[in-house]
Structure 1
Amino acid sequence: MKKKIGLLYGGKSAEHEVSLSTALAVTNAIDFDVYDVFPIYITQDGEWRKNAPLEGPAKTVEQLQLTSESSKPNDISSFLPSQNNKALDVIIPLLHGPNGEDGTVQGLLEVLNIPYVGNGVLASSAGMDKVVMKQLFEQAGLKQTPYVYFIRREWDQNQDFWVAKVEAELAWPVFVKPANLGSSVGISKADNREELVAAVKEALKFDRKIVIEQGVVAREIEVGVLGNDNPACSVAGEIKPLKAFYDYQAKYKDGDTAMIIPAELDEAIYANLEVDAKKAFKILDCSGLVRADFFVTENNEILINEVNTLPGFTPYSMFPLLWENTGVPYPELIKRLITLAIERHEEKQLLQVKMD
């Protein structure tokens, strides 16, 4: 009996297009001999549409969307078991950014008691908020670059104070980011006060909380983490942007970057990266998959940048390439993630919910 897999993609997020690319890539990698695949599309306006099962890999995003059934949008009953309908065995969330990667959808799937691939509510929400993530990293003793953060109201009430604080505590250049977004959306580099103000204005389009990080001259190294309670690490990869930094355009549009896999690293440096990647995975209580991003300085100092609890699976994405170079090809990677999701779900079913 084939397992019924729901691909949850799209989403009410600035990373909607990234999600479409990821969903398309997954349909080209998943084993249709083992799984029946049901696309579940969330429009950018937030409507849910469960689609008819795919007969095979989708060649275009348009083909993926054309399977839409006439069922009502936002009809959650289509996920639940009934006399004539078996519930989906596993859902693979392929939603990037807010309303998908931040624990909201994960919470819904927990309430529906449906197994799902990837991180749970806590890890997803903590991993989405860069400030909370950094504070947890501090608790774990992980080294990172200095940073300043504030919310929109604080900036609006006393812009000069925050500009002065950045100048006092950080050094140019700095990177200005929405705290709750990924895929380099809304991120700008600032080399002076004027550029800082413009960068904050841009970032506030996407989030009410802003984080400003100290720029650092270092190699950008990434490690894939896979597992639940006993995670394993992939080989390390290095990002070498051909632009000023690894922005949205370079990641998802033009591939204007070089990926070196495996990265040329001393064994001792890789061993320390592996320790720190697993430490970050555990401090956030992660499960399934994570991509841990680091800076390695000229003096071989390791600084953790962030973790991505739902790394992309597009043709330009680092995570599947890291595991492919570790000996786990894309179709096998998907199978392992589904197995990990079922394993975690079954463990949760052992928990007592009634008092003796």
Structure 2
Amino acid sequence: MAKKLRVGILFGGRSGEHEVSLRSAASILKAIDKKKYEVVPIGITKQGQWLTAGNAQALLVGELPVQEPVPAVAIIPPSPAIKPAKKAKGLALAAAAEPASPALDVVFPVLHGTFGEDGTIQGLFELADIAYVGSGVLGSSAGMDKDAMKRMFAASQLPMTPHVTLLRSEWTADPKKATRLIEKKLQYPVFVKPANLGSSVGISKVKSRADLAAAMDLAASFDRKIVIEEGVGGPGVKPRELEVAVLGNDAPDASVVGEIVPDREFYDYASKYDATSTSEPVIPANITAKQAKQIREMAIAAFRACDCSGLARVDFLMEPTHDAQGKKIRNPKIVLNEINTMPGFTSISMYPKLWEASGIGYSQLIDRLIQFALERHAEKRETSFSK
């Protein structure tokens, strides 16, 4: 009987998307093929403590008891200079007061946002020489930082809406000067965003100067860099919000195009996760075959521009069919919005649903991602890091 791959499902974390991560991990743990994989849940609390075994499961369902600080998990990279007592490859996870655990073959980090999707945890896996699902350090950090991401899109000549990036220090030092700069380069409405955050946290739609300062202060509370984007379609209209799922490494594939119809001004955090939200996904999106082809090609180009691997969801904005005066828009403009290197991964999240509509079921998608992680790790070992 073939040995099962030992897969660590890593979830939680210190970001504002902690709860979203728990939902994604719960779905994966339920759907992953237990006949093929030995699954190890690994949780990280909001305070940054690493948990295994029963404590990780308790965190997953929100029942972690109040107790003394839980010992952090020790992450031990294999060393060629020290022969282990038992043959083991990859990342060894152990906790104080717990017996040493066998090594993991691959980690599936279902961590959304800061400290999980921004290259930090990926750097840890690289140091430990462990296979992991998703983009590497560069792809993850570029996909998280909207300013860096846009620079990479621009270098690849991909279409975007006009934008301005300001530092928090520039805004606080001279708000009037910053406002003049924004208004010189952009027209209202604008979207004000923290550069490094996900799930639309800290994002505001600003229709006039009167609301700009509050939006800038909110974004500045979440990050030192603030990205201000000109709205697509002009005043009085809502652009269409389109999404594509990308899967693969060096030769990625794109899913069918989906559309989100938000119940608010835009697809914000409440629209995504509030139980009362009436936002609707439309899969496939009601667009022409030519538009779908263009968007899917742009999604793969964006994936490559940021040096992504494994998975990503690429989001687009498209002018509506009619402007604010009701005049039909011919050849509506389509622009890249952003790339998300670890999108929501519940069974009803857009990324899995887009692949389901493209012929890849949820459990099969998990299999594919694990295989792509192992493939990329094996390919990396062909690289020499010293003379």
TM class by shorter chain equals over 0.9
Kept in 2: contact 1:39–1:53 (CA 8 A): no
Kept in 1: contact 2:317–2:337 (CA 8 A): yes
Q: What is residue 112 of structure 1 aligned with on the other side?
A: 128
Q: What is residue 7 of structure 1 aligned with on the other side?
A: 9
Q: What is residue 21 of structure 2 aligned with on the other side?
A: 19
Q: What is residue 257 of structure 1 aligned with on the other side?
A: 279
Distance of aligned partners of 1:84 and 1:49 in 2 relative to their CA distance in 1, 3 Å threshold: closer
Distance 1:60 1:258 in 2: 30
Distance of aligned partners of 1:350 and 1:200 in 2 relative to their CA distance in 1, 3 Å threshold: same
Match of 1:336 among 340, 354, 368: 368
Q: What is residue 321 of structure 1 aligned with on the other side?
A: 353
Distance of aligned partners of 1:202 and 1:185 in 2 relative to their CA distance in 1, 3 Å threshold: same
- State yes or no: 1:134 paired with 2:146: no
Q: What is residue 75 of structure 1 aligned with on the other side?
A: 74
Distance 1:325 1:277 in 2: 17
Kept in 1: contact 2:58–2:64 (CA 8 A): no
Distance of aligned partners of 1:39 and 1:84 in 2 relative to their CA distance in 1, 3 Å threshold: closer
| Code of the aligned partner of 2:60 | V
Distance 2:192 2:70 in 1: 43
Q: What is residue 175 of structure 2 aligned with on the other side?
A: 159
Match of 2:163 among 116, 136, 147: 147
Match of 2:191 among 175, 187, 194: 175
Q: What is residue 309 of structure 2 aligned with on the other side?
A: 287
Mapping 1:292-311, distance limit 5 Å: 292-297=314-319, 298=321, 299-311=331-343
Kept in 1: contact 2:93–2:102 (CA 8 A): yes
Mapping 1:48-87, distance limit 5 Å: 48-51=50-53, 61-62=60-61, 72-77=71-76, 79-80=91-92, 85-87=101-103
Kept in 2: contact 1:235–1:262 (CA 8 A): yes
Partner-residue secondary structure (3-state), 2:61: helix
Using the aligned pairs only, state the percent identity: 47
Partner-residue secondary structure (3-state), 1:167: helix
| Code of the aligned partner of 1:260 | V
Deviates more, 1:335-344 or 1:11-20: 11-20
- State yes or no: 1:193 paired with 2:209: yes
Partner-residue secondary structure (3-state), 1:75: strand
1:160 Cα deviation after fit: 0.3
The total of aligned residue pairs comes to 350
Structure 2, unaligned runs of 5 or more:
78-90, 234-238, 322-330
1:301 Cα deviation after fit: 2.0
1:71 Cα deviation after fit: 7.6
Distance 1:77 1:327 in 2: 39
1:3 Cα deviation after fit: 1.1
Distance of aligned partners of 1:157 and 1:59 in 2 relative to their CA distance in 1, 3 Å threshold: closer
1:61 Cα deviation after fit: 3.2
Distance of aligned partners of 1:44 and 1:85 in 2 relative to their CA distance in 1, 3 Å threshold: closer
Partner-residue secondary structure (3-state), 1:242: coil
1:235 Cα deviation after fit: 0.5
Partner-residue secondary structure (3-state), 1:175: strand
TM-score, scaled relative to structure 1: 0.93
Partner-residue secondary structure (3-state), 1:286: coil
1:261 Cα deviation after fit: 0.2
- State yes or no: 1:37 paired with 2:42: no
1:179 Cα deviation after fit: 0.3
Distance 1:28 1:331 in 2: 9
Q: What is residue 93 of structure 1 aligned with on the other side?
A: 109
Distance of aligned partners of 1:316 and 1:246 in 2 relative to their CA distance in 1, 3 Å threshold: farther
- State yes or no: 1:241 paired with 2:262: yes
1:63 Cα deviation after fit: 7.2
Kept in 2: contact 1:22–1:314 (CA 8 A): yes
Kept in 2: contact 1:24–1:60 (CA 8 A): no
Distance 1:180 1:60 in 2: 25
Kept in 2: contact 1:9–1:41 (CA 8 A): yes
1:104 Cα deviation after fit: 0.3
Kept in 2: contact 1:252–1:316 (CA 8 A): no
| Code of the aligned partner of 1:127 | G
| Code of the aligned partner of 1:272 | Q
Distance 2:172 2:332 in 1: 39
| Code of the aligned partner of 1:147 | H
Partner-residue secondary structure (3-state), 1:72: coil
Distance 1:263 1:184 in 2: 22
